[in-house]
Amino acid sequence: MSKNDLALLVLDSCQEFGKKVEQHLLQIRNEKDKRYIAKLNASRFSNGEGKVKINDSIRNKDIYILCDVGNYSVTYKCRGKDHEMMPDEHFQDIKRTICATCGHSTKVTVVMPLLYQARQHRRKGRESLDCAVALQELERLGVKSILTFDAHDPNIINATPNLSFDNFYPTNTIIKEMAKNDPGVFENAIVISPDFGAMERARYYAEIIGCDVGVFYKRRDLSKLVNGKNPVVAHTYMGSDVKGKNVLIVDDMISSGGSVIEVAGKLREMGANRICITTTFALFTEGFDKFLAAKENGLFDTLYTTNLSYIPKAFSDYDWFYSVDMSYFVAQIIDSMDKKEPLTKYFNKTKDTFKTVQKSINN
């Protein structure tokens, strides 16, 4: 039975996604006149300082705070000018929201699909350790659970050993969407990891599809630092022949897109047939033009990502671009947590997805 004592605190960065989650919760629980999203106001002073006020009662409720730290479409006026909110500001609003509950909630869970500072999960020498520090901050503020997706390094869980940290993957949902839209891509297929860091994810795709896996070695110039990273000098392929095969390039995140496009170009030169790029988060930090040019030049065929982080609506105009909706999956997780049910079933869907792939191939 549903407990009906949960409340969703949806920040401005996650409004559209949060409303979908609420609608799916109502569907799952067969409710019509229930409202789960509590009203809140995240405002800014003219100098950029902010505050959060919760306008509905959340006393004795399990709170789920939804925030997309990667949403750059949220703006506010600062000193008379429009200012795009950055990840640091989104994370600060999460902390403000926790403080605004005033300890009245039973339990606070932060649903942060794109984990804040996930790429700064470890340090070499005198570097900041931002992701670990952020998680520890949330724990000190009384957060009991973190829900995220495809963390850059799942081992970040070790930063807060007493905090419940669930890291889910959209793999099964993405593959099922691919099976619906382009089932032929799984025939004579090979999964490619653009670097060794994404190899485990690529192997998981390959296991479900039932195919071989290859990887590119990303050689970097360690003597230089460009935009916070050592620039890539060359991509060297390691794996079986891709000539005539359908290729799935799998990664957790597309930032500028330079590496994945270069990998796609090399695979095309090697004689790959269809090339499909799949990623959990498509950030496009240097814009979408690079992908438009790559598509026009025939470097890849389709690109699949999720709506777990902000993507401009204009991108959906392209028939080769697919944004896979994860709101129902998130609603299922929240519903199960509220009912105190185990979450194991949301991690182990390999067999069901494998059957879907095989059915699409046979048809």
DSSP character for 156? Answer: G
| pLDDT over 70 at 5, yes or no | yes
What is the predicted pLDDT for the residue at 140? 96
Q: What are the structural domains of the chain?
A: 6-168+326-341 (3.40.50.2020), 171-324 (3.40.50.2020)
Burial class of 261 by CB neighbour count within 10 A (0 to 12, 13 to 18, 19+)? buried
Cβ atoms of residues 267 and 275 within 8 Å? yes
Question: For position 257, what pLDDT does the model report?
Answer: 86
The band of 159, judged by pLDDT with boundaries at 50, 70 and 90, is: very high
Q: Is 218 a catalytic residue?
A: yes
What are residue 141's DSSP bridge partners?
none
**Which residues contact residue 195 at a Cβ distance below 8 angstroms, ignoring those fewer than 6 apart?**
215, 216, 217, 218, 251, 259
**pLDDT for residue 84 is more than 90:** yes
Whole-angstrom Cα distance, residue 326 to residue 311? 13
| 349: pLDDT strictly greater than 90 | no
Question: Structure pTM?
Answer: 0.90
Question: Which residue out of 61, 218, 245, 295 is catalytically annotated?
Answer: 218
Q: CB–CB of 248/219 below 8 Å?
A: no
* Cβ-count burial 273-297 (b if 16+ within 10 Å, e if not): bbbbbbbbbbbbeeebeebeebbee
